[in-house]
Chains A and B, each alone.
Chain A
Amino acid sequence: MEKPTNNAAWLFVIPVVLLVAFNAIMPLMAVVNYSVQDIFGPGQAYWVGTEWYKEVLGDKRLHEALWRQFLFSGLVLLIEIPLGVLIALAMPRRGWAVSLVLVVLALPLLIPWNVIGTIWIIFTRPDIGLMGYTLNSFGIPFDHTASPLDAWITLMLMEVWHWTPLVVLLAYAGLKAIPEAFYQAAAIDGASAWKVFRYIQLPKMRGVLTIAVLLRFMDSFLIYAEPFVLTGGGPGNATTFPSIYLVKVALGQFDLGPAGAFSVIYFLIVLLFSWLFYQVLQNVGKRSAR
């Protein structure tokens, strides 16, 4: 049987195609274009093939930035996902307290990213900051502008404070969607609180947790504004993440070729890991049943 065709349907598809083209495909192609040319100025570009890719892949400072990035994103996922689930489990399910807790939790999400960095700069300053001054007056030297470890601690605290609420909200929505009958059946079957979590709540949260992991991975892997404001990539290069390095190369040194090549590699890494996380999380329950 022949499928009915109606060309008017294009009218409904074209807006999306145009939007995606302007939004994603054309900028990406521009970057690919830069990555294979040496550009001296308008109209002065020379084809260099894979030259920039070779250079970028051998760049030691980029390697360091990438490993730093993996460490950072790994810590983010390891801390924020379990913490978010724990907080969601502890939240009230009904009553007036629900709206109060939700509003308080959502506050960090509503603050502009560069402001977040400024807040934490002040909070951790050794001379006037609440946290920095308190720690130092207890005899614990703390200064994120001097010590790489302190810079990382500040960065992680800021990141967890800023983004765990998102995981909490997603997990909470997942928990609220579980019908009461599941808890009732578990009570009748004599299941412990741990088993209720393991066999009801966790499997039912899989969908939202997949989204949480993907969002937190992508966002944290591309992090720029907060560390840029907080540390500017320092002390030394201790918090120089690929995005910060990339901006330095592209806009600071105006090396569009290497910056383009690295952007493409950066993009492919994010794509690859997002796909991996998605596959693993979609199949994790299915395999355990075999």
Chain B
Amino acid sequence: MSASPLLEVESIDVSYGRAPVLRGVALEVDANEVVCVIGRNGAGKTTLLRAVMGVLPVRRGRIRFDGRDVTGWKGHRLARAGLAWVPQGSSVFPGLTVADHLDIALQAGDGSRPRAEVVELFPVLGERLRQEAQTLSGGERKMLGIAQALMAAPKLMLLDEPTEGIAPAVVAEVRTALLRLAEVCSVALVEQNVDTALAVSTRAYVLERGTVVEQGPTRHLYDSGVIRTRLGL
């Protein structure tokens, strides 16, 4: 196994049109590691994940994944290389059932994780295989997103605000799912819920106005008051 990080983001710049959103952002995720990206709304966290996943073009800098320069790769190539993305919100394919969603994930990647194994992690999805995904609750959709990503047996999962907008009782379920997830792949997590970030991640990056302003062990950043100060808690 290579000693280099699984994901290396090297000083990338990303813009929406002419408006720069990320400036010189660098980030690393090692194998079997959970890294959290924290920041206020509009700091550029989602933009960072979208750029890594090839949804947004990188204007400057480089992205290396699993020892390869993947800058400019399209999303489907990245997915086949072992990168999975669970987007912000509750993105699903309208009109397709839960089973369809899982089958797409199984067919699309090189992964071989059987549906039964993933459904075991999320029993509620097993009960709703024939239901259209858009009729699921917000929390169930998040679980479906994670389950889909898991089906492809990724090396690294990019998770964008998995606990955003869901009921507190469901947050605990999602957090448990994240901890299980961390046992099978690396995770880069964007999260505003500090409790979740502390519970699942070992290292964190704090993003402010499109640049990384702090980084280090999550617990240390929290205990030293950095996270509270930067997030205005």
Q: Do A and B originate from a single complex?
A: no
